[in-house]
Structure 1
Amino acid sequence: MTTALRLEQVTPDNIHDAFRLAVRPEQGRYVESVAESLAEAYVHQDIAWPRLIADGDRLVGFVMAFFDVRFEQPDDRLRSGLWRLAVDAGEQGRGYGRFAVQAVAEEVRRRGQDRVTVTYKQGEHGPEDFYRRLGFRPTGEMSEGEVVAELDLT
């Protein structure tokens, strides 16, 4: 991993490279493709924050966040967090996922929130251990069959 890590907006110049990003085959059941994620971002423009993870001039992954959303009842607390995270199969294990989560956490802090939420499917090749190593803890809630976990930023 180099010091040239950054999050980039998706643009006409990089969208086709973004479409080529793919996780390992055994991870495919745990995360949607970049193309599907961008389609969701398009129809949820009011809350979606899609970004590409770049290392120098290479795209190595995709992250999408959301900010200040109430999911259940009108009196539910505001939530901000990770919606999608996908590091390209050939780029995994180099700290890119950690960088993306930290960048989202900084954006959440900048927007005045003190917790980052994530949901994930459990399973043998799923992301649960990754999120736990970063400090996320299950809340006891489930959302559409996925575990809800939070990272306290205080």
Structure 2
Amino acid sequence: MADLNLVELSASTIVAVNNLSLKPGQEQFLAPISYGIQAAVVNPATSWQRVVLDGDEVVGFVSASFDHEAPEDYFRSVVLRINVDADDQGRGIGRFAIESLLDEARARGEERVHVIYEEGEEGPEAFFHRMGFTPVAETEFGEVVAAHVL
């Protein structure tokens, strides 16, 4: 894991990102990768998408939006997606990705970063709690809105 680094999503990494695997039960908590990637096409000025590499191998993907014009406060600085390949989960890759995203948010002068997730046994709730996110609200669809104060 000492060889982890982030690179921007690109034509050379997008296929590997699309092929990241999930553990059984996780698929219900994750929208298709193309949903997250479309954010960069629709609004590239606010989109932040990075691929996590372990050496030359794609092992994860993290996406965020920094949009001060967003109608909801929790969409102004928000984790849109984090995905670590099933075979690489538990190695600190997700922590590395979120810590890198939080560093980016600090560099942009953000005061907090939000994440929105569904509760569930195989879901990401425990991970986000370990990363310092605390539930602060609920969306109109019943999803949890959690914040990490920087």
**How does the TM-score come out when normalised to structure 1?**
0.87
| Partner deviation per Cα, 1:47-91 (whole Å, 9 max, x = no partner) | 221111111111101100111334436xx5883121100101111
* Alpha-carbon distance between aligned partners in 2 of 1:77 and 1:14, rounded to the nearest angstrom: 29
Quick one: structure 1 residues 148 and 38, their matched pair in 2 at CA, closer, same or farther if it must change by over 3 Å? same
* Percent identical: 41
Cα distance in structure 1, aligned partners of 2:90 and 2:148: 21
Report what 1:68 is aligned to: 67
Shift of 1:40: 3.6
Equivalence map 1:1-154=2 (5 Å): 1-2=1-2, 4-72=3-71, 76=73, 79-142=76-139, 144-153=141-150
Q: Matched residues in 1 for 2:24 and 2:35: separation?
A: 16
The one-letter amino acid paired with 2:36 is S
Q: Which runs of 5+ in 1 are unaligned?
A: none
- Please tell me the root mean square deviation across aligned C-alpha atoms, in Å: 1.9
Quote the Cα distance in structure 2 between the aligned partners of 1:28 and 1:96: 19
Mapped partners of 1:54, 1:67: distance in 2? 23
Partner secondary structure for residue 26 of structure 2: helix
Report SS of the residue matched to 1:69: coil
AA paired with 2:66?
Answer: F
Quick one: which amino acid aligns to residue 51 of structure 2?
Answer: L
Is the contact made by 2:75 and 2:114 (CA closer than 8 Å) also made in structure 1? Answer: no
Question: How far does the alpha carbon of each residue in 1:7-43 deviate from its partner, in whole angstroms, 9 at most, with x for none?
Answer: 1112222222222112223100101232332134322
Q: Which blocks of at least 5 consecutive residues in structure 2 are unaligned?
A: none
Give me the TM-score of the superposition, normalised by structure 2: 0.89
Distance 1:140 1:112, change over 3 A: same
Structure 1 counterpart of 2:6, which letter?
Answer: L
- Cα distance in 2, alignment partners of residues 27 and 126 from structure 1: 6
Q: After TM superposition, give the deviation of residue 145 of structure 1 in Å.
A: 2.9
